[in-house]
Chains A and B, each alone.
Chain A
Amino acid sequence: MVKYRKQILVCGGAGCNSKQSEEILDNLKLELEALALENDIQVIKTGCFGLCELGPVVKIMPDDTIYTKVTPDDAAEIITEHVVKGKRIERLIYKDPVTQKQVSASSEMTSYKKQLRIVLRNCGIIDPESIEEAIARDAYLALGKVLKEMKPIEVIKIIQDSGLRGRGGAGFPTGLKWKLAHENKSDEKYVVCNADEGDPGAFMDRSVLEGDPHSVLEAMAICGFCIGSSKGLIYIRAEYPLAVARLITAIKQARESGLLGNDIFGSGFNFDIEIKYGAGAFVCGEETALIHSMEGLRGEPTVKPPFPVESGFRGKPTNVNNVETYACISPIILKGSSWFSSIGTEKSKGTKVFALAGKINNVGLIEVPMGTTLREVIFEIGGGIQYGKKFKAVQTGGPSGGCLTEKHLDTPIDFDNLIAAGSFMGSGGMIVMDEDDCMVSVSKYFLDFTVEESCGKCAPCRIGNKRLYELLDHICKGNGTMEDLKRLKNMSLVIKDTSLCGLGQGSPNPVLSTLDNFMDEYIAHVVDKKCPAGKCRDLMQYFIISENCVGCTACARVCPVNAITGERKEPHLINPSICIKCGACIEKCKFDAIIIK
């Protein structure tokens, strides 16, 4: 039984909060109290609606009406007109941005729901340790159909027609890869799932494996049927213990139900899956390195060709796909290739899962159709920048990707547009940066990661990236020159052109894209010896504003190196040659007298 006649939900997301949603909430409550309705109507603050640009948002239940751009002054009208008289307030009702039609029921608001979950269809819905629940959501139905009713080549055709491209980064057409693996004759072939997710801040594959492991197992079996393989291997990093545990359970249950093993669905097709553990080396996400690691060799890439579809695991034709790619397979088979290809952009079909991280309000996983803009992802679904700060850049594609800026915000996200903009789809990590982030330091951070993760096989990556890192460090310390910026660019281009594998070829991307988009910041570092974001410690100077300083001596007492001098009740001074820039003085000062320049 519901105690209240109506319930009013007021968005309390950060975006709406900054636009007076608290006041709206208070006003609604006051209006209800004035009419003695507070026991009849409930008002409550909720989380973000993902409609931040139209905020503040108010929703009324059970009428399912959504009002946008509500002001505190509208509270009275909402109560007297809608709640008391049952009349909807037309001017506040949400309009569909495409059709400009008024849409009142939130269940009809499809364009408001910017997320479309295909890969994440079961994540958070089913118990990943129960195969019955998965089956109740149509797991293994596509496998059954394929084995009973179709020929391998027909299935490959569907995948090709769907336009599905590999979700691991490069976007190679999945159907074509399967076709090549199918055509290469061999007594043995392998189906490999690449679950070696290594980009900093990316956890899409982990969530799929933790939330819906059967979707991957099923798709691997379908792939096995298509290419003529009876053996699947999942290469997963040992740092994902929960994903590993749930995979083991899922494989066990699938075997017990006869959905993996011999004579699946009575079709005579045999397929089984084994888990191979990785030690969490970034380079092992590269398919040739991954295969070597599975063979017990060092995780080092080799030159392609031969591609794994020709000569992969143990020299046999091997199809390697990413977790997310496999998770797309069974919906494509069940709903058809034209359904899938109707979603997305011309050359990138379907949806993409992104892990939103960094200075964004709604940190987490999202899944959107290809072609959604960065602005929609960051400012609507992501709820905007933390603490109302200014957006500066978004890094996509991990250490091999680039930083995109304000001018790219309205670019529809797909494989080709991201490359044209100087970045990369990668596996789907998105790190959002605000005005406080120094782009030179960001490049340095990613280079640090690449240097650490480089396998050392080829010289451009092993030596070049190290030199690149040193140059960036040099610049951050205030010792750079304009000449260094030229060297930075040249070296980056050489590394990009001459490295052996994708890791090396992509590693200078953060440098190149920040050079393109934030040249002024590099110049500030080398010419003015200043870090505009105030991040590079060596370029910072602490100053005391003498007008604000009352001479309380708090800063001088806390300074660990006695860099601050001055008489009591007189303005103090910081000696920059002694100061170690620890920031202790700033924390102590109660008069805002200390600033960083």
Chain B
Amino acid sequence: MKQIKSLADLNKSKEEYLSKSKDSEKKDAPGGKVRIRVHMGTSGIASGAREIHEFLTIELEKRNIDAVVIKTGDMGYCFAEPTIEVTRSGEEPIIFGNVDKLRADEIIEKYIKNGEYVEGILPVNYQIIN
């Protein structure tokens, strides 16, 4: 791991990471890379988020969709776990709740491929500080 010895190092690390993720978004634009966050804190995992993470990783590759799937902590939607956040290239992210394999499949086929909404959307009702 790279040593961070100054504020400049810290800033460099931030810039590198951001440009790396920007590049990956730009790739093959406008279809672009899809970013998926699977919320995997205790409540997510207890509701089956691990299986959903595995399912999405395998299926997206099988279906030739260029996507990054990452694991994060929970967002607090305990009533609707497992939840995932999907960001289509250049679009606002959308959070889906109560995602089982069936719904995950639907999200790939309908939302990721065509932008068609599927059931389970959780409207965002919070602001996050930058």
Contacts and interface: CB of A to CB of B under 8 A. Distances in A.
Contacts of A127: 70-72
A259 B4 contact: yes
Range, interface on chain A: 35 or more
A123 B7 contact: no
Contact of A59 (B1, B39, B123, B127): B123
A372 interface: no
Contact of B74 (A116, A256, A365): A365
Interface in B3-17: 3-7, 10, 13-14, 17
A460 interface: no
A124 B37 contact: yes
Contacts of A131: 1
B27 to A, nearest CB: 17
A49 B115 contact: no
A46 B42 contact: no
A7 B119 CA distance: 12
Contacts of A387: none
Interface in B96-116: 97, 114-116
Given A132-B13, A206-B41, A110 B7 contact: no
A366 interface: yes
B60 interface: no
B29 interface: no
A257 B3 contact: yes
Interface string B110-130: 000011111111111111110
Contacts, number: 178
A395 B87 CA distance: 38
Contacts of B1: 131, 253, 256-257
Contacts of B71: 127-129
B45 A242 contact: yes
Given A2-B115, A257-B3, A366-B76, A50 B41 contact: no
A562 to B, nearest CB: 43
A124 B115 contact: no
Contact of A211 (B2, B41, B70, B129): B41
Contacts of B2: 257
Interface residues of B, number: 48
Nearest to B42: A242
Contacts of A124: 37, 39, 72-76, 85
Contacts of A212: 73
B75 A135 contact: no
Contacts of A141: 7, 10
B115 A9 contact: no
Nearest to B83: A124
Interface in B34-53: 37, 39, 41-43, 45
A121 interface: yes
B115 A1 contact: yes
A413 to B, nearest CB: 16
A123 B76 contact: yes
B7 A148 contact: yes
A258 B5 contact: yes
Contacts of B116: 2-4, 42
A45 interface: yes
Nearest to B8: A144
A544 B78 CA distance: 41
Interface in A119-177: 120-129, 131-133, 135-136, 138, 140-141, 144-145, 148
Nearest to B71: A127
A47 interface: yes
Interface of A: 1-4, 7, 9, 11, 42, 44-51, 59, 110, 112-118, 120-129, 131-133, 135-136, 138, 140-141, 144-145, 148, 203, 206-207, 210-212, 240, 242-243, 246, 253, 256-259, 265-266, 331, 335, 361-367, 381
- The 4 A-B pairs at the shortest CB distance, nearest first, are namely A211-B73, A365-B76, A115-B126, A124-B75
Given A125-B37, A148-B6, A242-B42, 9 more contacts: A47-B123, A51-B125, A113-B125, A117-B126, A123-B72, A129-B71, A136-B21, A144-B10, A362-B77
